[in-house]
Amino acid sequence: EMSEMSERSKQNVAYGLAWSYYVGYLKIVLPRLKKSMEELSRGNPNLLACRKTWKLHILVPLSCDVYDDLEKADSNIQYVTDLTETTLARAGTKHRVYKHSLYAIRDEENQLWHCAVEYATPLQSLHAMSQDECAAFSREERLEQAKLFYRTLEEILRGSKECADAYRLIAFQEPEEAETHFLSREIVWHLRQEHHEEIAVLERSHPHTPSTALDSAELSLQVSMSDLPQPLRTDGF
């Protein structure tokens, strides 16, 4: 009876999608990501100078609008190259290939930031369900499911030792009026936070003289707040 009630209210959809995404994909690729980043960095040291950005940046648009081509979503996002592939035997497929793409993100000052970034693919399923009469998903229900997907995935990953420090979730609500470079600004905001985190680590590893100790402490305090989950800066869920 409880299962039927849950199915009627569709409460189990996002929860199941989040777990499937983690078990069937993230838990496989994230533990191998650092090695791929390191291999690329050896040949291109200037691209990935900040080790704190050696993560998979996962885009979670609450609208569930997922672009297959990031360059078409925002012209300030440009494809650079692919990271080293991971090939595994998976569910009967002998040579299942997993790979990620590295992008250059241009900010408002024309500076380039490099990172591996992609959408959370289960959101495509939520969007498709809202368009299918059989699923009977309303737009409001889709939004609630997207929020539940994010919260569930965040909780799963927070408790995963294998995936620690190998990802960054970027959840956002698109503005009602289209903004040409909204997506690139969202990504750059997170990349800047990661750079600040790395600076803070360096500050703690190499303490300043007493004359600058106060500034260092203030920086560390400020950066420590970014270690907390900061998925949304405009929504309050």
The answer to whether position 23 is within a domain reads yes
The answer to whether position 144 is within a domain reads yes
The answer to whether position 91 is within a domain reads yes
The answer to whether position 176 is within a domain reads yes
* Per-residue pLDDT, 135: 63
* Per-residue pLDDT, 205: 61
- The CATH number of the domain holding residue 63 is 3.40.50.12100
> In Å, what is the CA distance from 73 to each residue of 87, 178, 203, 209?
29, 11, 37, 47
* Per-residue pLDDT, 193: 93
* Per-residue pLDDT, 10: 52
Q: Is the dihedral of CA 133, 235, 56, 41 positive or negative?
A: positive
* Per-residue pLDDT, 45: 77
* Per-residue pLDDT, 206: 53
* Per-residue pLDDT, 12: 78
* Per-residue pLDDT, 22: 97
Question: Domain range holding 50?
Answer: 7-205
pTM of the model: 0.80
What stretches in the chain show pLDDT beneath 50?
1-3, 5-8, 208-237
How many structural domains are present in the chain? Answer: 1
The answer to whether position 2 is within a domain reads no
The answer to whether position 93 is within a domain reads yes
The answer to whether position 237 is within a domain reads no
Evaluate whether 30 touches 167 at the Cβ level (below 8 Å).
yes
The answer to whether position 221 is within a domain reads no
